[in-house]
Chain A
Amino acid sequence: MTLSTLTRPWAAISWGFLDASAKREMRRKMIKAIAVPGCQMPYASREVPMARGWGTGGLQVTLTLLRTDSVVKVIDQGADDSVNAASIRRFLSRVSAAAETWDTLEATLIQSRHRVPEERLREDQVLVLQVPNPEPLRPVQPNMSIARQMHADADYGRLWLVLYEQMVRSGRIMQGAAYPALVNGRHVMTPSPIPRWDVPKLHMARHLTFLSAGREKRLYAVPPFTRVEPLVFSDVPYKVEDHADLVCHRSGLRGVFMNEIPQDGGGSAFEASDSHLGIKAIRRAEGAATTIGPMWYEEGRFRP
């Protein structure tokens, strides 16, 4: 027996870009992450043809999850057409022949930066969130070794302390994005910088969510039907952004998360952040046959 009979013939590039050992490392850590929801798993983060901080963590998870029948959607702050989203999507399909889509309903694999789609995700879909800073304790404990001990002790009092001081200083919770949430009653995670609007979408969701930080080399997961509870005081309820009554100036959508666009006159116009949902709404208004799936928010209120 020779080595060549045990190994595959040399090829210029692996299917799905990552080599077999890199994928095995990812799979092992992803399974671990699912087994302990919300717990950060360190992993050997590989080089991908993209700068650290541009979604390399999410990209490695997506590359590992790719199958020949995958349909990928990539979102950048809700938009499918930004340079970053378009480039990642094209890269994914080029290295694996997976189909590309903009439509949340068609996608099986969704890589996202900073948003969760407005249409409900299903059991057969996987959401991969790019995470810049996976450590919720970093603002209160700069020493990462001690932060890990605090995770082990479930010592999260200081995160409430931050909220306490926001209440004292401003009279309300000021934490906008990356609102810390308790997963499965045990680990506090930062749900990547998604707005407060999107955090309830992860609670008891039907889909699997991976959160991966390539530069920090940590990934964690929210398996389907897992509790994700934002940290709140018992007498100060959790509030999402006040976007329920805003109307998208292009599509006429109402009750979705909006981007604020400053106008010349000093006012602002609002535009649906989930760009393809806006496109579908415009098409429907023009009489084309489009399907808008069931939404997480109905009339501006979250439907569990």
Chain B
Amino acid sequence: MTMMDRLPPTLVAGAPLLRMTGVSRRFGRVTALEDVAATVWPGEVLGIVGESGSGKSTLLRMMNLEDSPDAGDYRLALPDTAGNLFDLDRFARRQLCARRIGIVYQNPHLGLLMGHSSSGNVAERLLMAGERSFAALRARARGALEASEFPLTRMDDPPKLLSGGMQQRVQLAKAIALEPALLLLDEPTTGLDVSVQALVLDTLKRLQRDLAITMVIVSHDLGVIRTMADRVMVMRHGRVVEEGLVDQVFQDPQHPYTQELVHAKL
């Protein structure tokens, strides 16, 4: 199989899946986000890079509806949603997040119940969406763990007994269990050693190919972004300073900060 068979060139057409405009967020005197706009088309992988404190993770938390901005508009082109998602109440937000958005955190403690079994962690997501059959829970949890290349012999061990790479795979299985429309990845491979990092990225890449899932990946590692993303957004001090195709931005950075960033990598 050649590269061309597996990745047919497609033109991005139609409406974007995610559209965020004018998002601002202040924490006291600190401005985390200032008039940020982001657009993601279906099946695309958007990378967000920037230094620590540039607002990347805050933006991702907004996309997962964990936090509300001071101002801004957020829309997902999904059949069962309409209007500004920031206006939704707590209950509707939780339902939407559980069913349509998957997230993988840098710190597995945020995304997983460390004391419960790994398959139970995946099952919890399904339970949240209303699955009440034990046999179906078991089968779907196993399917999701298998898809994220988690060793099934350990599926009933609690994540606290697993290695970092496996914990990330459990998070990933939990995130994709309901086949979300949007997968958010917050520094998914930071803290893993290089070989495990490569394996996890491999899995992500394969999932993206198989499920044509739309992803937003936040990282300060340009290598990860280069491997995974189609387009990249560079953030600094809560603003988007540059945006464009990955190759274009990394080969020919326009903004002084991006130039610094790209050169620092080399």
Contacts and interface: CB of A to CB of B under 8 A. Distances in A.
Nearest to A231: B132
Given A157-B127, A164-B120, A235 B134 contact: yes
Nearest to B125: A157
Interface string B133-165: 111111000000000000000001000000000
Nearest to B134: A233
B167 interface: no
Contacts of B134: 164, 167, 233-236
Interface string B119-137: 1100110011000111111
A235 B133 contact: yes
B27 interface: no
Number of contact residues on A: which range applies?
A: 10 to 19
Given A158-B124, A168-B156, A234-B132, A153 B91 contact: yes
Interface in B80-117: 90-91, 94, 113, 116-117
B132 A161 contact: no
A285 B123 CA distance: 54
Given A153-B94, A168-B156, A161 B133 contact: no
A243 B120 CA distance: 31
A242 interface: no
B141 to A, nearest CB: 9
Interface in A229-262: 233-236
7 contacts: A157-B128, A160-B132, A164-B120, A167-B134, A168-B156, A234-B133, A236-B134
Contacts of B119: 168
Report which residue of A153, A157, A234 has the largest number of chain B beta carbons within 10 angstroms of its beta carbon: A157
A56 B37 CA distance: 58
A235 to B, nearest CB: 5
A155 interface: yes
Contacts of A233: 132-134, 137
Contacts of B128: 155, 157
B132 A168 contact: no
A165 interface: yes
A291 to B, nearest CB: 43
A164 B123 contact: yes
Contact of B124 (A161, A167, A169): A161
A165 B128 CA distance: 16
A280 B128 CA distance: 49
Nearest to A173: B134
A164 B137 contact: yes
Contacts of A235: 133-136
B interface, over-half SS: helix
Nearest to A154: B91
Given A233-B134, A234-B132, A235-B135, A165 B90 contact: no
Question: Which 3 A-B pairs have CB atoms at the shortest separation, nearest pair first?
Answer: A157-B127, A233-B134, A157-B128
A168 B120 CA distance: 9
A165 B133 contact: no
Nearest to B135: A235
A201 B123 CA distance: 31
A160 B127 contact: yes
B156 A153 contact: no
Contact of A165 (B94, B120, B132, B136): B120
A235 B120 CA distance: 17
Given A165-B116, A168-B117, A157 B124 contact: yes
Given A161-B127, A235-B134, 20 more contacts: A153-B90, A153-B94, A157-B124, A161-B113, A161-B116, A161-B123, A161-B124, A164-B120, A164-B134, A165-B120, A168-B117, A168-B120, A233-B132, A233-B133, A233-B137, A234-B132, A234-B133, A235-B135, A235-B136, A236-B134
Contacts of B136: 235
A145 to B, nearest CB: 15
A155 B94 contact: yes
Nearest to A157: B127
Interface string A138-159: 0000000000000001010110
Contacts of B133: 233-235
B168 to A, nearest CB: 21
Nearest to A160: B127
Nearest to B132: A234
Contacts of A153: 90-91, 94
Interface in A208-233: 233
B154 to A, nearest CB: 13
A180 B132 CA distance: 15
A218 to B, nearest CB: 23
Nearest to B129: A157
A236 B138 CA distance: 13
Nearest to A163: B134
A161 B91 CA distance: 20
A164 B139 CA distance: 12
A157 B125 CA distance: 8
B170 to A, nearest CB: 14
A163 to B, nearest CB: 8
Contacts of B124: 157-158, 161
B10 to A, nearest CB: 37
A161 B128 CA distance: 10
